[in-house]
Amino acid sequence: MTHRVRFYHAGCAICVDAERRFADALDPVKFDVEIVHLGDTPERIGEAEAAGVQSVPAFVIDGQAYHINFGAALADLKGGA
């Protein structure tokens, strides 16, 4: 069975790098990765927040949030959207 993975980002340089490194690196046999750009789809910020995402870039894998370095705080995305 494949794991559902969401990768939340906001288009920042750190986000793009993390996407290239990790979202493209996960074993495609095991993971089904959805890329979510919160700048383009601010209506999904609530969903990310509910999953425990505090900053981007971040993965949510099986409901657990994993922050990769620090690009931008979710709170700042809400303000700037």
- Say which DSSP state 2 is in: P
* Residue numbers at the binding site for its own copies (CB under 8 A): 17-18, 21-22, 25-28, 30-31, 61, 64-69
Structure-token match 């095991």, residue found: 30
Question: Are 56 and 78 contacting, i.e. CB atoms less than 8 angstroms apart?
Answer: no
Minimum Å gap between C-beta 5 and its own copies is 9
d(CA 54, CA 44): 13
Which DSSP category does 3 fall into?
E
> Which residue, 11 or 14, has its beta carbon nearer to its own copies?
14
Residue 2 CB, shortest distance to its own copies, in Å, is 11
The least distance separating its own copies from the CB of residue 7, rounded to whole angstroms, comes to 12
